Amino acid sequence: MAVSKKKSTFNAFFTSEWILNLYKSMANTKNATVREIILDRCLSDWNEKYTILNLMSACNRRLEEEKMELITSPTTIRLDLNNMETHYGVQIESWKVGRNVYYRYARKGMSIFHMQLKENELQLLNQTMQLFSRFEGLPHFEWLEELNSRLSSQFMMNPANKKAVVAFDENPYVEGMKHYRTLYQSIVKRQVLQIHYQSFKHKTPFVYTIHPYFLKQYNNRWFLLGWYEEWKEITTLPLDRIVQIKKVDNKYKDNEEYDFNEYFKNVIGVSFPKGNELMEIHLWIDKQQWPYIKTKPLHKSQKLVTEYEDGAAEISINVIPNFELESKILGQGMHMKVLSPALFKEKIQTQINLALKNYLQ
């Protein structure tokens, strides 16, 4: 099977440059947040006097405790003070005593954490929290539960605001999710893994040496794609069949060939049966189901061939036939029929006949 080659960079899910920039951005954001907390505390304290250097020292003490990068220039503090005034609407006053210039809030009791949110801001925050809740329970996102509870107690005083208005089709408790964090980190750190995989067809686990590249979710299941060292090819492993993961010291084979944005372009789901090639499949859909298939296509290649007077339709899709496609067609029952190609039509018809036998026995 011809697989899409990687272009100039690996832009599938995470590139190394993207991850590095993300980590830097997250670190810088956290650093700035810590500084704002300390500066707010100092500016609120009218019993003490703080110069720029005093404020810088106070921030660095906290940053050192957090094992974060220290401030090396007073300009950073001056920019922080300007940003606090601009973003939070607080007023910071300064006065000179001799050579020293001191800083504090213009009004006693002022704080950036005492700002009242407007109604539309509360609604936006509530919607954001509901979006975040989609990830609660997933490994790597445990902190969201604490964040949501804190934000709820801080801002969502009206019980009506806590009612969910959005629901996502997520199952964070599916088997295998305990491996998600390890696999995710192994992709980022370019770590070769020895994976013990329990197939449904065998009694004992099979051991794979995998160079992990990509994590993909389909139909509420997560799958790992990586270079299978023994067979020298890409393989796909569902997380819920992984029994054990061990790190090995083999040299990591970088992904220089596969662009996973393109890799799944010609399939429904995640499986690539050996020997199957891209083909144009024509399907008949009855008038009852056609409005649904029309608004939610089976595949992005879906095209309307004919729309009949009785409301039924014929469509075409260009895909590599696999188990997921067969399941979708069979799941439509009497509402869908394969028109061509003949071999694929016969395969679906055989499966329907076998299913019918189960009811005739």
Instruction: Please write the tens of the pLDDT for every residue from 28-86.
Output: 566 788 888 899 999 999 999 999 999 999 999 988 887 888 989 999 999 999 988 98
- Which pLDDT score, from 0 to 100, does residue 325 have? 95
Q: How many residues does the chain have?
A: 361
- Amino acid 242: pLDDT: 92
Side-chain-side CA neighbours of 161 within 13 Å: the count stands at: 19
Say what the pLDDT of residue 167 is: 60
In whole angstroms, give the CA distance from residue 221 to residue 8. 30
How far apart CA 303 and CA 324 sit, in angstroms, is 19
Distance (Å, rounded) from C-alpha 136 to C-alpha 156?
Answer: 19
Query: What local confidence, expressed as pLDDT, does residue 67 receive?
Result: 80
Q: Residue 114: what residue type?
A: H
Question: Helix or strand or coil: residue 361?
Answer: coil
Residue 237 pLDDT: 92
Cis link prior to 205 (omega < 30° from 0)? no
List, in order of start, the domains of the chain with CATH numbers: 16-114 (1.10.10.10), 119-162 (no CATH), 177-263 (2.30.30), 279-360 (3.30.70)
DSSP 8-state assignment for residue 259 = -
Within 13 Å of residue 185, how many CA atoms lie on the same side as its CB? 10
Tokens of 321: 């036939």
Q: Give the C-alpha separation, 262 to 269, whole Å.
A: 13
- C-alpha 336/C-alpha 328 separation (Å) is 10
Closest by Cα among 319, 170, 232, 234 to 224? 234
Q: How far apart (Å, rounded) are the C-alpha atoms in residues 101 and 15?
A: 47
Q: What is the pLDDT of residue 7?
A: 44
Report the run of H or E that residue 136 belongs to, with start and end. Answer: none
- 221-228 and 100-105 as β-strands: parallel, antiparallel, unpaired? unpaired
Q: Report, as ranges of residue numbers, the positions in the chain whose pLDDT lies below 70.
A: 1-30, 114-174
Dmax (CA) for the chain in angstroms is 100
- Long-range contact set of residues 262-265: C-beta below 8 Å, sequence gap at least 24: 262/4, 263/3, 263/4, 263/12, 263/225, 264/216, 265/4, 265/300
Nearest to 191 by CA among 236, 242, 251, 232: 251
Q: Six-digit token pair at 304?
A: 């309307």
Q: Where are the alpha helices (DSSP H) in the chain?
A: 16-44, 52-65, 74-88, 119-132, 143-155, 180-189, 260-263, 290-295, 323-331, 342-360
Asked if 55 and 103 touch (Cβ cutoff 8 Å), the reply is yes
Position 360: which residue type? L
What is the predicted pLDDT for the residue at 18? 45
Contact 109, 44 (CB under 8 A): yes
Number of H helices, E strands in the chain: 10, 11
